[in-house]
């Protein structure tokens, strides 16, 4: 589980970088699936008018945390499915 969380954090950070770099060229739905944190941060941060550093800092915090959670859950589900299939396959033999 800890491995899935660490891999999720790394994958979330990389996905945010990839989505931010290619956001203008990708369809909006693909950006939302690849990096849900980017969309969440875009919705939450502009609600307040603060300094640029404050805004950018909170934007990154929200985006990275959301992506890390998203990918951690995704990897945990994939690991659980893999364990289930491996147990099921070994029970047949």
Global confidence as pTM:
0.81
Query: What are the φ/ψ torsions at residue 24 (nearest 5 degrees)?
Result: -65, -25
Distance, CA of 43 to CA of 50 (rounded, Å): 15
Q: What is the pLDDT of residues 34-89, one digit of tens each?
A: 999 988 888 887 666 778 888 888 889 999 999 999 999 999 999 999 999 888 87
Q: What is the pLDDT of residues 2-28, one digit of tens each?
A: 888 899 999 999 999 998 898 889 898
């Amino acid at each position: 589980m800890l491995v899935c969380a660490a891999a999720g954090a790394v994958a979330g950070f990389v996905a945010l970088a990839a989505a931010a770099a290619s956001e203008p060229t990708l369809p909006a739905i693909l950006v939302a699936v690849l990096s849900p944190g980017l969309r969440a941060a875009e919705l939450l941060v502009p609600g307040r008018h603060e300094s640029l550093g404050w805004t950018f800092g909170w934007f990154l915090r929200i985006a990275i945390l959301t992506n890390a959670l998203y990918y951690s859950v995704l990897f945990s589900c994939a690991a659980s499915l893999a364990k289930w299939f491996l147990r099921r396959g070994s029970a047949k033999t």
